[in-house]
Amino acid sequence: MSKRVSVLIVVTFVLTLLVIVALMPALAADTDAVSGTDHIVEAAALHEAGELDAAEKIFRGELEADPGNTYAACQLGLIYMKQAKRAEAARYLEHVLTCEPNNVFALVWRGVLHLDAGNEDAARDCFMRALDAEPQDANAHYFLGVMEAAAGNRAAAVSHFRDAQSAGEHADDAEIHYRLGRAFMAEDMAASARLEFERCLAIAPNHLDALDALGWLYFNEGYVEEAIETWHCGLDVSPHDAELRANLATVFGQKALELQETGDTARAMLHWRKAQRFEPHNRAAAFYLRRLERRQASLGQ
């Protein structure tokens, strides 16, 4: 079974989808309030365009001119997170929370930094404080769902993911559908899990984790060909993905053993070779192929 699922997926997700989702509402809500000039708008546009150094310079200037400019401090924190400068990011987010203890944006991203560092209690405290200030904050619910799922609290995880979806901005979020699918899968709710994985893939067809998990759902329900096809779709995206290749090697190896038991040596060898094609160093495939080849050779003599 896949070992992809981990709280560490937070790091990747932070630096992609949720960065954009979190940035845009803050820009719309706060720019007029924090500055009477066009500098903040310019910096936010540069930030969105990925010109982080230029955006940083402007935000730092705004913050030096007005240390109470929490919007600029939040964006500096986010920029440093993108640059993996965690200590700097934490310093600016803490500055925001000193000025505004209930700043939801800063609480969520400070929680993410705690989670990235393995400080789960501190992370949970930040996310819960964010929800105290804004009960419908989608990002806080999402990350609490990640934590609950990692801790094995599936019902709580599903509840938080559902709340993240109901907030509106994440209703069509592939990652939340994937997370819900994993939670349902862990509870042996195969039909619900399959539906969530399919919803995820409808939004993000190349989501490798969802393809991996959906393949196992098909396999465990006896739909072996569907499982193989699903994993092949994953390999079309990432041809060298070790986990997907191992999945296929496992399935072909199991089929080879079944064929051996029925005495169908030729087809068993064919399936062992398929397993070996996906995992060239598969020891079981090498062992049984040698054994079957010797048997065929002895019968030929």
Per-residue pLDDT of the chain (301 residues; tens, 9 = 90+): 444 434 334 433 443 334 333 433 334 334 444 444 577 788 878 877 788 888 889 888 888 888 999 988 998 998 998 888 999 999 999 999 999 999 999 999 999 999 888 899 999 999 999 999 999 888 898 889 888 888 888 888 888 888 887 775 555 678 888 888 888 887 788 888 888 898 889 889 999 999 999 999 999 999 999 999 999 999 999 999 999 999 999 999 999 999 989 989 889 999 999 999 999 998 998 999 898 888 877 776 4
CA 81 to chain centre: 17
What's the CATH class of domain 240-301?
Answer: mainly alpha
The reported pLDDT for the residue numbered 14 is 41
Rg, the chain, Cα only: 25
What's the pTM value of the predicted model, to 2 decimals? 0.61
Q: Which fold has domain 1-154?
A: 1.25.40
Q: From CA 230, how far away is CA 170, in angstroms rounded?
A: 26
Superfamily of segment(s) 172-239 = Tetratricopeptide repeat domain (1.25.40.10)
For position 81, what pLDDT does the model report?
Answer: 87
What pLDDT shows up at residue 78? 87
In the chain, list all ranges with CATH 1.20.58. 240-301
Which of 212, 143, 149 minimizes the C-alpha distance to 173? 143
Q: What is the 3-state secondary structure (H, E, C) of 220-265?
A: HCCCHHHHHHHHHHHHHHCCCCHHHHHHHHHHHHHHHHHHHHCCCH
- Nearby residues of 130 by Cβ (< 8 Å), 6 or more positions away: 104, 107, 108, 111, 137, 139, 140
Residue range(s) in the chain whose domain bears CATH number 1.25.40.10: 1-154, 172-239
